[in-house]
Each structure stands twice: as C-alpha cells, then as structure tokens.
Structure 1
C-alpha cells in the first residue's frame, strides 16, 4: 500500500521553517554538530537536518529529545500555553451552566 504524503498548509510553512532555524541557531550556539545532536537524540543526522529545515514529518518525540539535549525542555510547556480562544469558550460554557432552569427552552 502506498503511503499518502500530507502537505503542510501554506499558513504554517513559515512558522515551522522559522522554528527549525531557531533550533539550528540554538544548537550551533552550543557548538553541537548535527552528527552529535543526532547521536544524542538517537536518530539519523538527516533527521536533524529535516527538523532544522522545517520538515513537518519529523516526529514530536524527536523534537522533544532535541529540546532536551539543548536544555530547552521547559519550552514545551509554552506550546499552546496562551489559548485565549479556548479560555473564552470554557468561560462561555461555564456561564451557560450557571443559568437557572427557567432560562432554558423546554422541549416536549
């Protein structure tokens, strides 16, 4: 069976590419070669190259291992940490639950 390749939406390509560049910059600043990073992450060097070039097919596990090698695992907690829309939706749901039964339409 032939695998299907999913294409990253255009609006996400630039931020994913920028993330890869930031990762590469952080690695280079620590004077870690791609080969050594690959060894520490337990992947092939080409996988590190793909990650740093913004290839979205690289696994999250590899990304998290990479961050761990750099000492940036705390950054994982920042991902989707400021979800304003989710917070607003949750607050709206809570306010609906707080209504009196008489406020709701009764179906018969």
Structure 2
C-alpha cells in the first residue's frame, strides 16, 4: 500500500480542514452516524475520520462518494466551476 503524506502549506491545509468540518457538520445535521456514512460511501470508518479531519491525501473519489451520501453532489460539481483567471488568460490569447 502506498501511503504518501500530502504536504500543503498551512493556508491550503486550512481549506481542507474547513471542508472536513463542513462534511462532519452535514453528516450530523442529517443525524447520520459515521458508521452509516462510511458504509453508504463504501469506505472504512477510519477513512471517513481522515476526511472529516481534512486529510488531503484521501482520494478525491472518496470525497465525492461522501458528498453523494450526504446529497451534496451538486456542491462537488461546482469545484473549479468559475475559473475567472483561466477565462481572463483565454481572453488575452484571443486579442
């Protein structure tokens, strides 16, 4: 098993911490236990714990499965949706 630790600057780790906390709050608002969410997402309870702690080394597909269980897949679909910088760069190329 390949267990590399993802290394992030603290300001980026805070983003993952926030996502993990939001997932945990969404689970609790729905009155779902960690075991229930883990089983429905097809993951181990320890993996859900890592996600809720903001572990950036967890695969993005696992994050998606958890979002699906929580009925938040539309939120997931909005990741990188509004690429303002990319559009500006593209527009500069057109000039």
Question: TM > 0.5 between the two?
Answer: yes
Note the residue ranges of structure 2 that are not aligned, 5 or more in a row.
Answer: none
Note the residue ranges of structure 1 that are not aligned, 5 or more in a row.
Answer: 96-108
3-state SS of 2:48 partner: helix
| 1:16 to 2:24 alignment | no
Question: TM (normalized to structure 2)?
Answer: 0.91
| 1:30 to 2:34 alignment | no
Please give the residue correspondences for 1:55-94 in structure 2 after superposition, counting only pairs within 5 Å.
Answer: 55-94=55-94
Query: 1:11-32: CA deviations, max 9, x gaps?
Result: 2011110110001000000011
Question: TM (normalized to structure 1)?
Answer: 0.81
3-state SS of 1:27 partner: helix
Aligned Cα root-mean-square deviation (Å): 1.4
Larger radius of gyration: 1
**In the comparison of the two structures, how many residue pairs are matched?**
94
- Cα distance change, pair 5–86 in 1 and its aligned pair in 2 (3 A): same
CA distance in 2: counterparts of 1:43 and 1:6, whole angstroms: 20
Query: 1:7-63: CA deviations, max 9, x gaps?
Result: 122220111101100010000000111111110111110000000000111111110
Larger relative contact order (Cα-Cα within 8 Å, sequence gap ≥ 6)? 2
